[in-house]
Each structure stands twice: as structure tokens, then as C-alpha cells.
A and B are shown apart, each in its own frame.
Chain A
Amino acid sequence: MTNLAKRKKAELRFRFYGIFSVFLSLLFVAILIFNICLSGIGGFYKTIFLTSIHFDQKLLNLEDNASEEQIRNASFSKLIKNNFDETFKDYSKDEIKQIKKLFYRKIDIELKNFLISNPEFLNKTTKVELTASTHIDQIHKGNFDRSVQEKHRKVNNFQLEIYDKFVEDQKVKKVWNSTYFTSGDSRDPESAGVAGSVMGSVFTILICFLLSFPIAIFASIYLQEFAKTGKITDLIEININNLAAVPSIIFGLLGLGILLNFFGLPRSTALVGGIVLSFMTLPTIIVACRSSLRAVPPSIREAALALGATKNQVVFHHVLPLAMPGTLTGAIIGLARAIGETAPLLMIGMVAFIMDIPSNPLEPAVGMPAQIYLWSESSERGFIEKTSSAIILLLIFLIVVNFVSVYFRKKYEKKW
């Protein structure tokens, strides 16, 4: 082989390595997203049993035209027992108990809610969509291999048999899981939802934005337009650069040490979470704002100055508005990163089992990422699926946010 041919071959090989690396990186993106989607889509659906229920007035101890309040206070246990005994009268007591386990354990609440929204069915028989237990849900979605030995299964052979019969009778359906979007966290995968953590994230990011955005803009204006070069200015610049590189968990320690322990702010709240994240977002926004300020042409400043505007007026009337789109783009990117941040929030207790949907930033809350972390720690298959679904929501949100920022940048690209 000639020398030149060898070199040509080496060239091709090198090039191949390059393409291969890019391909592999892209492949990782694809695998990650594909995997998450595959395991998460199911979480948006749930399995239900179409069950015929007779809402016997006597068993509920309710009068005609019972008010919502009365229905809410009624005990449904007798009604449930009666209905199950009726429907499965060919089975033994023990078997009925096992059949009951195919359903989500809070049948009473589901029936109650049904009756409250459809009071006309009192004393009538109708088909109600009752949520299946998470194990059945997983089997129905095909996430669980039913051929494994019985003792390794949460669902025994008898229960499977009944389930199969239900399927045969077309009593099993997969429906859109709206509870997932409207309820907070729960111990049961069947009723756990993301609404609480979404609100937690919303409040956290809101606080983060309200703090970091104005401070970053003012700091940038000072540094870019007013500061004289000197020791302090240098020190500030060094600090900003450093903050951008400090690991996020350190900010969590700051929050714990200063905000919680020293200032006594309430633990586990979006307020503290937002403050901590604003510390992290600050450098990003400052860098973006300063470069947008720098990009405003001097001719605009001169025009305003020559009209007798003061320096402050030049900055606040002309330069800052022109730098705003760039700053906003930077802020969106910074906030998008903050939304996905988990580690610092662990430090300040924003990782806890919280059922209530927070209604203000001073209530205990968890954010989306922390909820993902919490659910992923669970050994229950149902929660794993929920985790993936939450990740899908988070990623969709981040993608939308990124598109918005790109759109912003395109739309407001320099027009002077």
C-alpha cells in the first residue's frame, strides 16, 4: 500500500470517528427521550372497570333529593358490600374480598363523587367507572409480565382469572387519567397527580423570577453603564463569574444555613426555594442583560443625550427597552434551568410527601423535579410510570419554553 493511500485511509477513519461521535450523541438523546416516552405515556391513562352499581337509598341512609352535604357525609361501606355480594353471589366471602382488591381501595370516595355529580341516580342502578388497582392497571397496560410465578406477583391466579373475565365481558377500559392532572401527591399510585408539584414549581419560579429579574437588570445597568472600572467592579465581575460555576447543591446549603437557620424562613416552602433558585439564575440573566446593553448602538445614546436627557433617562428610556428582548431571552433560559433544578431544593426540605396543592408560596410545596425524585424512589411500578409521565410533562414544558425563547430572539433581533 502506498503511503498516500494509507494517509487517505487514516483521513477517512478520522472522519468516521467524528461522524460516529455525533451520531452516538444524537442517539443518546433519542434513546433517552424514546425510553421515557415509552414508559411514561401510559401514565396519562388509567384502567377502569365498568361496574353496575345500585345506589340503594336505604343502605346509604339518605332521603330523596339528598343534598351534596348529606351525600358527602353518608357511609358507603354497606352499599359497596351489598353490591359486591350481589354481583358476585357465586363466589365465597374470601373470594369476594380478593375481587375487591382488583379495585382501587377507595371505592367509597369514587362512588361518592359519582353520586354527588349525578344525584339523579339515587335509588337507581347504573354503570359506574371504577378505577382498577394499580397492579391490575399495570397488567392491563402490559407493563407487567403475567407469566411470572404466582408468588412473585401482586395479583394471584384467581384475581387474574376474574380480571380476564372482566376483559371478556368488555368491562375493562383504558381511559384518560384526569386525576393525574388535577390532584396532588398521594400514597396510592391510582390517585397520585402532578397538580401539587406543578403549582409548587409555578410558585417557586414566580418568586425566582420576581427576585432575580429586577436585581439582575439593575445590577447589569450599574455594571455596564455606570460603574467606573476599579477594584470593586472587578470584584463584582469575578463574583458573578464564580457564582455561575458554583455547584447547585451549594446554593441549597446557603439556603439552609442562612435563609432557614438564620433568618428563620419557613422550611419546605416555594418562597425559600424561589430565593435559592434566584441566586443561581442571577448570573445567567446578568450576563445576558449586559451583552444586550452592550449591543445597543452608541448612536441611540448620543441622540438622547444631545436632546438634553440625563444619563438615567438615556438608560431607562432608550437603552434598557432596547436591551429587554435579549435580557428576556436570557431570563427564560435561566429560568428554564431553574425549573429543572432539584438538588438545592432537597437541602431546604422541598422534598416531602405533601398531599395538598399549595395555594400560595408560603405553604409547604414540592416542585416537579422533586416530585419526580420522590416517585422514582418508590418501588411501586405504578409510581415508576407516573414518574416517566411527569418527566414527559416537564420536558414538553422545557421544549416549549425553549421555542419561546428562540422565537423571541428571532422576532426582536436588532431592528435599529
Chain B
Amino acid sequence: MFYSVLTLFVLSFIGFYLGKRKSIKLSQNIKLASLPSYYGYLAMLYILIPTLIAWFVLLVGENFVLEKYLFLILKEFLISMSGSEVQLFFIKIKNLSEGASFGNESDIELLGAQKIIQFKNLFLLLTYLVIFLVTAIALYLVNKKISPTFKSQRHVEKIVNLFIQLCSYVAILITVGIFLSLVFETINFFGYVNPLDFLFGINWNPNKAFVIDSSDVIDKDILKDAFGIIPLMTGTLLVVFLAMLVSIPLGLMSAIYLAEYAPKRIRDISKPVIEILAGIPTVVYGFFAALVVAPKIADLGEYIGLDVSSESALAAGLTMGVMIIPFVSSLSDDVIRAVPQSLRDGSYALGATKSETIIKVILPSALPGIIGSFLLAISRAIGETMIVVMAASLQANLTINPLEPTTTITTQIVTALTGDTEFDNPKTLVAFALGLTLFFATLLLNYFALRTVKKYREQYD
């Protein structure tokens, strides 16, 4: 793979050189319509674009064609296997073809591996063939095009502009990709579980979908109350609520102090230091929550006679709250500083103290913006994964008691997709349904947050 890409680039550079040389030769008698290097670039692009596309298609297509091919030649053998057995078999012979042998392979597996190696060699040959062929055609075309009046610069710029336009579509592509991958597997999931059971079920017990042998048929009645998202939602909301309990007062008060009271020097130092909190990887918070916060809380609970679980929502929530502080504070800070000075002056002129001005004038007028920042923080907290994976429980509990173990949507996504993943089992597929729920929830929150903030901005523009 590496060498084919290298070949591709080397060829395109050769193209550049040839194109440039030819145009320089031409330009000895007559002034060209464009600089010689643009003829070179044109040749380069003519080679690079089709070969890259062809290469990419071949790369993506290889696996697909390979499986079709294997089916064809190993038909008699594969016909007796179930879908997942075939997958396993393919994985095994693929590994075998890459040299991972355990010495206990059957003849048919060895044959399969051998076929894979043959196929891959053939495909590699094909790849090179296509690359060279396309290059030859491209060189021929460019060679025909190069003439003193040909405006290669225009052409190059057109191609470049088209290319950068396509680059900007990547953002759309990613969103579509997210949506498709989530929706596709979610639909598969709903083939096993009724969407209503999923959305309104109050029991979460995905292990009920555990089957020993994949040829077993899963009993749909059992699944009826195995995948209810309600306990996950309450768990998530509980953790987020606790996080907000920490971050809203601390973040908002910090923002107020830094924006309205603090001398410039303190502000200049404190702001970046607080923002360190946002730059620390979440896995660090998770570690901290699980190893320091949770035991301390449990100890404290024991001391005052409460039974606190070591995987309580409290530890995760409080730690997450600390992580969210800088989000709330820096967003609120911007909002508060956007309040026009005239409003403050008006209030001071009436003899109000600073705090009265802040509480009665600044905060009310900044309220939409502040609420927007809270919403953004909440959306951030809902999607936060590592802290809850490491500090919260795996066990779903329909409770609002922060001292009991709880689980969250993100925790369950991770649980479903780490370890053995079988894409023909609702236990794995549910992760995508949960992901879709999460995606919509955060999208909605962000939409409202941005709308409130925007409205607020317009008010003072």
C-alpha cells in the first residue's frame, strides 16, 4: 500500500517535470499563455487525480471482491456454515495469510489462505497496472493539450478550486456519515427490539440477549424488557444534574468575579489557570474520580453513617462538575462582558452598589446568554464518557439517589462495544441506538443554546 502511494506520487512528479519541460521548450520561440510551471502542475493533476481515485476504489473494493471470490471458490465448503461462522472463517484465513499460524489449521483453511495470498498479489499487480495505464493516458492527453495558446493556469486553478470546494463538503460528509452509521445499525437493532420498548422501557438488562451459540434464535419476548433506556436517562440526568450543581455556581460566580471585580493582574493569571481544567484529558478526571473522589466520598459516608456506593453517581457527577467549570465560566464571562457599560453606569448613578448592579441589572440582561452557556455545558456533560465509564457503575438503577450506583448512556455504549462485538446481536447494536439518542439530544441542546446566545448578541449589536 505504501509503495503504491509512493509510486503514484513519483509518477505525478515525473508528469510535472515533463509538462514543464515541454512548455519551456515551446516558450523559446513564443510567449506562452501561462507560466511553464502551470503546464507542469496540469500534468501532475491529470495524473494524480484519476490515479488516486482509481487507487482508492481498488483499495475499498479489494475486501469486497475478495470475499465474493472466496465464496465462489470455496462454495461447497462454506454453504454449510452460518453467517457468523463464515465471518470467523474469513478472519482466520486472513490472519493465516498474513502469517499468523497456530499450526492446527485444516486443509481447507490453508487452501483459503493460499487463495487469499494469490488474490492479493494479483490485485497488487492490477493496482500498478491501473496506475501506470492511467498515467500514460494522462500524459498523452496533456501532451496533446500543451500549446502556446493553451491557458493551463486557468485549468489548474479551476481544478484547485473544485478540489477545495470538495474539501469544504467534508464537513457535510462527516455529518451524513455519523447519521448513516447510527441510523443504519439502529434500524438493525429495532429489528430485534420494539422502538417503544426501547424508549419507554424501565428495565435495562442487555445480558438477557446473551446467547451461547449464534445459531440460537433470540427470544424476542425476553428482549421486551431488556433494553429500556429510561434508567440510563435518569442515570445520565442525575450525573449531569450533580455536575451542574458544582459547575454552575462556581463557574458563574468565578465569571462574575473575574469580569466585574478582579484586578487585571489576577484576571490574567486566574483565567488561564482555570482553563487548564478544560484542557486536562477526561481520562485523567476519570482516574481521579475512581481512585480519589469515590473512596473519599465512601469514607465520608461511612463516617456520618451513610451507605455510599463506591460507584455512586456522586463521585462521577462532582468530578464532571469540576471539569465543566471552565466552560461555564468562560462562556458566562464573555456574555457578562458584552453587557454595555451604559447599563452599569445607569445603575451606579442611582446609587446601587456593585453587587446590586450585578444582581439586578447585569445578570437579568445577560440571562439569555448565561442560560445559553449553561445549555452548552449540559450538552457537553451529557456526552462526556470517560469519567462515567471509569467512576460510575455498569448496573442500571432507576433511582435519583446520588449515593446509589448508576449508569449512563455513554457508559453503556462503551460497555456494548468493548470486548466481543457481534453485529448480529442486539446487545452490541443497542450502542448505536443509544448513540443516536445522544446525538439528537446534544444537537437539540446546542441548537437552543446557540439560538438563545445569538438572540442575546443581536440585542446588543
- The answer to whether A221 and B60 touch across the interface, beta carbons within 8 angstroms, is no
Residue B89 interfacial (CB < 8 Å):
no
Contact residues in B for A340 (Cβ distance below 8 Å): 279-284
Is residue B69 contacting chain A, with contact meaning CB distance below 8 A?
no
Q: Nearest residue in A to B252 (C-beta to C-beta)?
A: A21
In contact, A11 and B178 (Cβ under 8 angstroms): no
Known: A245-B442, A342-B283, A384-B291. A251 touches B273 (CB 8 A): no
Contacting residue for B171 out of A21, A22, A282, A347, CB 8 A? A282
Contact A240 B414 (CB under 8 A): no
- Residues A218 and B384 in contact in the complex (CB < 8 Å), given A14-B355, A36-B288, A402-B279: no
Contact B163 A218 (CB under 8 A): yes
* Interface-facing stretch out of B45-53, B107-115, B393-401, B430-438: B430-438
Q: Pick the contact of B164 from A13, A218, A346, A384 — CB < 8 Å? A: A218
Among A84-92, A183-191, A252-260, the one that faces the other chain is: A252-260
Cβ of B181 and Cβ of A215 under 8 Å apart? no
A247 contacts B353, C-beta separation under 8 Å:
no
Whether A249 contacts B358 in the complex (CB less than 8 A), given A28-B277, A282-B171, comes out as no
Contact indicator per residue, chain B 245-264, by CB within 8 Å of chain A (1) or not (0): 00001111110111011100
Interface string of B274-308 (1 = CB under 8 A from A): 10110111111011101110000000000000000
B376 — nearest CB in chain A belongs to which residue? A245
**Nearest chain A CB to B9's CB is how many angstroms away?**
14
Is B43 part of the binding interface, using a Cβ–Cβ cutoff of 8 Å?
Answer: no
Q: Which of A241, A256, A283 contacts B181 (CB 8 A)?
A: A256
Q: Which of B270, B273, B287, B383 makes the CB contact (< 8 A) with A247?
A: B383
A248, CB-defined interface residue at 8 Å: yes
Binds B, one of A68-76, A165-173, A222-230: A222-230
List B residues 155-182 near A (Cβ within 8 Å): 157, 160-161, 163-165, 167-172, 174-175, 177-178, 180-182
* B169 close to A249 (CB less than 8 A): no
**In whole angstroms, what is the CA distance A29 to B418 when docked?**
31
Nearest-CB distance from A360 to chain B (Å)? 8
User: What separation, in Å, do the CA atoms of A391 and B228 have in the docked complex?
Assistant: 37
Q: Using known A-B contacts A21-B253, A222-B164, determine if residue A310 contacts B157 with beta carbons closer than 8 Å.
A: yes
Closest chain A residue, CB of each to CB of B292: A35
Q: Does B96 contact A (CB under 8 A)?
A: no
Q: What are the residues of chain B within 8 A of A236 when measuring CB–CB?
A: 168-169, 171-172
Binds B, one of A54-62, A132-140, A293-301, A368-376: A368-376
Cα A14 to Cα B353 in complex, Å, equals: 11
Judge whether A336 is part of the interface by a CB distance below 8 angstroms: yes
- Is residue A343 contacting chain B, with contact meaning CB distance below 8 A? yes
- A contact residues around B164 at 8 Å (CB): 218-219, 221-222, 226
Given A239-B175, A376-B291: A15 touches B355 (CB 8 Å cut-off): yes
Smallest Cβ-Cβ distance to B157: which chain A residue: A312
Q: Does A242 contact B (CB under 8 A)?
A: yes
Q: How far is the CA of A27 from the CA of B24 in the complex (A)?
A: 68
Residues of B within 8 A of A226 (CB): 161, 164-165
> Which chain A residues border B172 with CB–CB below 8 Å?
235-236, 239
Nearest Cβ in chain B — how far from A320, in angstroms? 11
Q: How far is the CA of A29 from the CA of B64 in the complex (A)?
A: 51
| Interface check A261, CB cutoff 8 A | yes
Q: How far is the CA of A80 from the CA of B353 in the complex (A)?
A: 81
B446 beta carbon closer than 8 Å to chain A: yes
B190 within 8 A of A: no
**B410 near A: Cβ within 8 Å?**
yes
Q: How far is the CB of A122 from chain B (nearest CB, A)?
A: 36
Contact call B250/A254, Cβ cutoff below 8 A: no
Q: A1: CB under 8 A from chain B?
A: no
Question: A22 to B254, Cβ gap below 8 A?
Answer: yes
Q: Which 7 A-B pairs have the closest CB atoms?
A: A247-B383, A340-B281, A18-B257, A257-B181, A21-B253, A14-B355, A343-B385
- Interface residues in chain B, defined as those with a beta carbon under 8 Å from any beta carbon in chain A: 1, 60, 63-64, 153, 157, 160-161, 163-165, 167-172, 174-175, 177-178, 180-182, 184-185, 249-254, 256-258, 260-262, 270, 273-274, 276-277, 279-284, 286-288, 290-292, 322, 325-326, 329, 353-356, 358-359, 376, 379, 382-386, 389-390, 410, 413-414, 417-418, 423, 431-432, 435, 438-439, 442-443, 446, 450
A-B contact pairs, 16 of them (CB 8 A): A11-B356, A18-B254, A19-B261, A21-B251, A21-B252, A29-B277, A35-B292, A218-B163, A227-B165, A248-B385, A249-B410, A250-B439, A253-B181, A253-B417, A257-B180, A261-B423
